């Protein structure tokens, strides 16, 4: 049994991770940590957890964790995760970091978008971006995996075949994305107050969301050249899910059918990508509580725009499910283990 630790287990991604790991036949949960002083039984944090469990979330010392676990999932706020990752790497642990700290290869870019000093720039060279559909081979070898952001997961999966196969004008890419409130985390804020959210909808961080460089870095890699995207996030009055509607101008020489073929071929063997048939499009209900990314493609629009709609559960494929998918790849478990 692979021994797993979840560091920072009381937030939304930590809670989802616990639920998934409890269903996984090849792992044991070795430690669940919190910085709060009192310990919290898992069944109290997640009361509708039907699997009986006696697990308790409590403070741990680094030494305890190093003895207890083989793989460490970091569900920490950004800036805290980088320090923690360095520490566990030094102890030889495999680290899967769910924060944003290790996703950008360039510390300067991180500092510009996150407004914080990056104290572990050396780690950035070793971290592998954990998007299996793009990076599966490298993930299988990685000891430091930077688990993608929720918006980037949905956006990149909706765009990757188009960009990598150069089927669209790279200057034309627009990502209009809509997220549920759990994406904002568990902490109470004015912006997550029920009365502020219900019967409301708005864009936020227009042209300035910190997931922008992560999307651009991954797509630039696919395109083989630097590229920029327009990314507008919106807040939906619902709990979980991201739906990204992406637009890209089809190149004149590329037929609509070739677009469809590109998706079919790229994602043929992907266990967690579901392509909708022509004329059908994803709904958040189709993906919630699953690790699927559903994609619907309109390649033949009146205006030559290719429209791709991607839907994920932001806490599963957009966070904890994908983290386990990465662990499965790294430790040679069946890729779907624990995820259905």
- For residues 247 and 259, give the distance between their C-alpha atoms in angstroms, rounded to a whole number: 13
As measured in angstroms, the least distance from the Cβ of 308 to a second copy is 10
Residue 70 C-beta: closest distance to a second copy, Å? 27
Q: Is 24 left (phi over 0), alpha (psi -120 to 50) or beta?
A: beta
Question: In b/e form, how buried is each residue of 123-145, taking b as 16+ CB within 10 angstroms?
Answer: bbeebbbbbbbbbbeebeebbbb
Helix or strand (DSSP H, E) at 73 = strand 71-74
Please report how close the Cβ of residue 210 comes to a second copy at its closest, in angstroms: 13
Cβ at position 267, least distance to a second copy in Å:
16
Token readout for 150 is 């929720």
Which CB sits closer to a second copy, 72 or 242? 242
Looking at the Cβ atoms of 44 and 67, the one nearer to a second copy is 44
- Beta strands 94-97 and 144-146, pairing class: parallel
Cβ 110 to a second copy, closest distance in Å?
17
**Which lies closer to a second copy via its Cβ, residue 3 or residue 228?**
228
Residues 228/162, Cβ–Cβ less than 8 Å = no
In the complex, minimum distance from the CB of residue 239 to a second copy, in angstroms, rounded to a whole number: 5
Q: For residue 32, what is the DSSP state?
A: E
The separation between CA 179 and the C-alpha centre of its own chain, rounded to angstroms, equals 13
For the record, the structure tokens of 193 come out as: 């107050």
Query: Is 150 tagged catalytic?
Result: yes
Q: Which is nearer to a second copy, 117 or 204 (CB)?
A: 204
Whose CA is closest to 338, among 15, 26, 9? Answer: 26
268 vs 302, beta carbon nearer a second copy = 302
CB of 200 to a second copy, least distance (A): 5
Cα 156 from chain centroid?
Answer: 10
CA distance 139 to 134: 10
Q: Look at residues 306, 302, 284 and name the one whose alpha carbon lies nearest to residue 239.
A: 284
Token reading at 113: 């978008």
Of 87 and 109, the one with the shorter C-beta distance to a second copy is 109
**Cα(101)–Cα(116) distance, integer angstroms:** 10
Of residues 37, 81, 79, 75, the one with CA closest to residue 59? 37
| DSSP result, 136-168 | HHHHHH-SEEEPPPHHHHHHHHHHHHHHHTT-B
Query: Cβ closer to a second copy: 2 or 174?
Result: 174
Catalytic residue among 4, 51, 75, 150: 150
Residue reference for tokens 């959210």:
197
- On the 0-12 / 13-18 / 19+ scale of CB atoms within 10 A, 268 is exposed
> Annotated active-site positions, please?
150
């Amino acid at each position: 049994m692979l021994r797993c630790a979840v560091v920072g287990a009381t937030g939304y991604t930590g809670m989802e991770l616990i639920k998934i790991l409890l269903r996984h036949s090849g792992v044991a949960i070795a430690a669940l940590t919190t910085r709060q002083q009192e310990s919290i039984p898992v069944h109290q944090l997640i009361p509708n957890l039907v699997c009986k469990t006696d697990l308790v979330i409590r403070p741990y010392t680094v030494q305890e964790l190093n003895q207890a676990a083989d793989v460490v999932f970091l569900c920490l706020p950004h800036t805290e995760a980088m320090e923690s990752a360095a520490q566990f790497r030094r102890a030889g642990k495999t680290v899967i970091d769910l924060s944003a700290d290790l996703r950008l290869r360039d510390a300067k870019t991180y500092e510009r978008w996150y407004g914080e000093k990056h104290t572990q720039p050396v780690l950035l060279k070793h971290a592998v971006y954990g998007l299996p559909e793009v990076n599966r081979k490298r993930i299988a070898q990685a000891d430091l995996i930077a688990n993608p952001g929720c918006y980037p997961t949905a956006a990149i999966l909706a765009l990757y075949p188009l960009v990598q196969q150069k089927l669209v004008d790279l200057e034309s890419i627009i990502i209009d994305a809509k997220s549920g409130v759990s994406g904002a985390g568990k902490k109470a804020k004015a912006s997550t107050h029920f009365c502020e959210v219900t019967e409301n909808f708005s864009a936020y961080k227009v042209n300035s969301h910190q997931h922008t460089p992560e999307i651009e870095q991954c797509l630039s890699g696919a395109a083989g050249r630097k590229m920029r995207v327009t990314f507008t996030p919106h807040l939906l009055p619902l709990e979980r899910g991201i739906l990204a509607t992406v637009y890209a101008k089809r190149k004149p020489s590329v037929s609509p059918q070739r677009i469809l073929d590109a998706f079919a071929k790229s994602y043929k063997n992907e266990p967690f990508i579901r392509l909708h048939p022509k004329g059908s499009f994803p709904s958040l209900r189709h993906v919630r509580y699953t690790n699927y990314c559903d994609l619907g493609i309109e390649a033949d629009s009146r205006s030559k725009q290719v429209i791709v709609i991607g839907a994920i559960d932001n806490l599963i494929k957009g966070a904890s499910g994908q983290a386990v998918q990465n662990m499965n790849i790294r430790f040679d478990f069946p890729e779907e283990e624990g995820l259905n």
